[in-house]
Structure 1
Amino acid sequence: MEEYPMRILVVDDERAIRRYLRASLLTRGFEILEAGSAGEALQSLTNDRPDLVILDLGLPDMDGVEVVRRVREWSKIPIIILSVRDREDDKVAALDAGADDYLTKPFGMRELLARIRVAARHAHRTAQEPVFELGDLRIDLARREVTRAGERIALTPTEYDLLRVMVQNAGKVLTHNQILRQVWGAAYEEEAHLLRVNISNLRKKIEPDPDRPRFILTEPGVGYRFQDRQEV
C-alpha cells in the first residue's frame, strides 16, 4: 500500500516562522499547509484534513487555546503548541484544552521533529493494540493485567484506571486536571493531593526504583507523562 507524506498544518501569524518551518519540514519529507490566523486554520482543518497541527497561541483573531478547544469538539488530530509564552499557566491551559505537546520559542528543529514523531505515534496507536510493553513492564489492557519481569502486579481499581489513562496517552503530557477528570471525575479537579498519593503508590509498584522513575515522569508544575516505548 502506498504511503503518503504526513501533512502538517503550520499556524502562525509571523510569516518568517511559517517560511522557516515550511523549508525545514519540506526537506524532511512532510507536506506543509499554512495558516496565518485562527479562521484560516479552522477552515484548513475542515477542507484539507491535515495529519498534525503546529499552533502558535498569539493569533490575531483568536487565542490559540480557544482554537484547541474548538478543534477538540470534533477532532483528535495531534496539536503541538509552538509559542513564546513560557509560563506554566499558559502550558497548563493549552494542555488542559487538549493540546498534545507544548514547545517554547526559540526552539531546536531536532526537538520539534522528535515531538512530531511522538505525537504521530500516539495518534496511530489504536484500541486494537491492547498490550503495551516498555522494558520488563507489560500492561494488557484487554485483560486488565499488569506484570513486571513476568511477575503479576496487584493494583487497586483506582491505580489501574490511573495507569490505563497514562498508558493510553503514552508520550503525551497530561495535566493534573486532565488526569483527575478522567480517573475520578470533574468534581475532583482540585484534589491534587489525591493524584500525588496515587502516583506515588503506583510508582512503588511498577517502577524498578520509585525515587528515580523510568515510566511515570513528572512534568514540573504541569502534570505527568508516561514514557513512550519508542520515545527518542
Structure 2
Amino acid sequence: MASVVIVEDDPSIRTALQHALEEQGHAVATSANGLGALDLVVRTEPDAVLLDLGLPDIDGLKVLAMLRGVSTVPVIVITARDDDPTIVAALDAGADDYVVKPFGVDHVAARIRAVLRRGTSAGEDPVIRVGELSIDPRARRVTLAGAEVDLTRKEFDLLFALASRRGEVVSKRTLLAEVWQQAYGGGDRTVDVHLSWLRRKLGETAAEPRYLHTVRGVGIRCAEPDDD
C-alpha cells in the first residue's frame, strides 16, 4: 500500500481519515498546517498527499505551489470549496485531483489509487494499456490493436484522463476542469462532442461502446471490452 501525508487542520476529519486509510493498509502521517506539511513531505517523501486548502497558517494553494517547487508527489486537494475558480486554480497550481467535502473514505482511497496509477517514475513504462488500446503520454501516441490512432490534442487529453483512471467513473465536471480548464456550467456539450469524435476513432458508438462507457447522470468510465 501507499505512504500518505494528510494535511488537514480539522482534528476530527484528520483523525477519521487517518484511521480509515490505515485500516486499508496505508502508512499515514499527518500535519495540521502548511509549514509542517512542507517539512513532512521533504523528510518522508510520501507516495501521495491529501491537502486541505483552508489551513490556519498558509493558504492551501500557496502550500501546493511550494510543494511543487520541491516535489513531484501526487497531490489530491480535499476542500469544502466547490466553486469552479478554486478547483481550476488548484489544478493549474499542480494538483493531480480534488475531492470536495463531505466525502467518503472509499472515494478518497479510490482517488489515491488513481493518482498512483497515473504517476510513473523515469524507470517505469509510462504507457497505459487497456485491452488492445495503448496510450503513450510521453510520445502522445495512441494505438489500437497495433494500428496508430490519429487524435487531436484534446481528444488525446480526454482519452488519457479516462484511461489513467481505468475502471473508475469520471465526472464531466472533472473532465472539463482537467482537459479544458473550463468552469463548469453548460459545458457538458463540450465533453459530449469530443467523446463522440473519440469514440468514432476507436471504432465504437455510445449505443455500442467498447472502451468508453457512459454511466448516465454520473460520468464516463474507461474499461476493457471484457470488463463490462
How many residue pairs match? The answer is 207
8 Å Cα contact 1:153-1:206 kept in structure 2? no
The answer for unaligned runs of 5 or more in structure 1 is: 182-191
* Offset at residue 88 of structure 1 (A): 2.1
Match of 1:155 in 2: 150
**Counterpart residue number, 2:41:** 45
Residue 54 of structure 1: which of 22, 47, 50 is its match?
50
The secondary structure found in structure 2 opposite 1:73 is helix
Name the Cα RMSD after superposition.
3.9
The amino acid across from 1:155 in the alignment is D
Kindly indicate whether residue 172 of structure 2 is the aligned counterpart of residue 170 of structure 1. Answer: no
One-letter amino acid matched to 2:42: T
Contact kept, 8 Å, 1:80 with 1:99, in 2: the verdict is: yes
The equivalent residue for 2:134 is: 138
Contact 1:153–1:205, Cα closer than 8 Å, also in 2? no
User: What is the identity, as a one-letter code, of the residue corresponding to 1:41?
Assistant: A
Q: Secondary structure at the match of 2:77?
A: strand
Counterpart CA distance in 1 for 2:128 and 2:212 is 12
- Rounded to whole Å, the distance in 2 between the matches of 1:87 and 1:228 is 30
Report SS of the residue matched to 2:102: coil
Q: Structure 1 stretch 160-169 or stretch 84-93: which is displaced more?
A: 160-169
Deviations for 1:48-85, whole angstroms, at most 9, x for unmatched residues? 22221111110112221221122112321011111111
Structure 1, residues 131-162: CA drift from partner, whole Å, max 9, x if none? 432134234668876433x3724416xx2686
- Tell me whether 1:13 sits opposite 2:9 in the alignment: yes
Question: Structure 1's 160 and 111: CA in aligned 2 closer, same or farther, altered over 3 A?
Answer: same
Residue 104, structure 1, aligned to residue 100, structure 2: yes
**CA–CA separation in structure 1 for the residues paired with 2:138 and 2:92:** 28
Q: Normalized against structure 1, the TM-score is what?
A: 0.69
Unaligned runs of 5+ in 2: 182-186
Which letter maps to 1:54? L
Structure 1 residues 107, 167: closer, same or farther in 2, change over 3 A?
same
Distance 2:220 2:66 in 1: 24
How far the C-alpha of 1:128 sits from its partner, in A, is 3.9
What's 2:84 paired with? 88
Deviations 1:111-135 (CA, angstroms, capped at 9, x unpaired) = 1111111112222465642543213
Amino acid at match of 1:171: R
Distance 2:46 2:63 in 1: 15
Percent identical across equivalent pairs?
Answer: 31
Q: Is the 8 A contact 1:166 1:226 kept in 2?
A: no
Q: How high is the TM-score relative to the length of structure 2?
A: 0.70
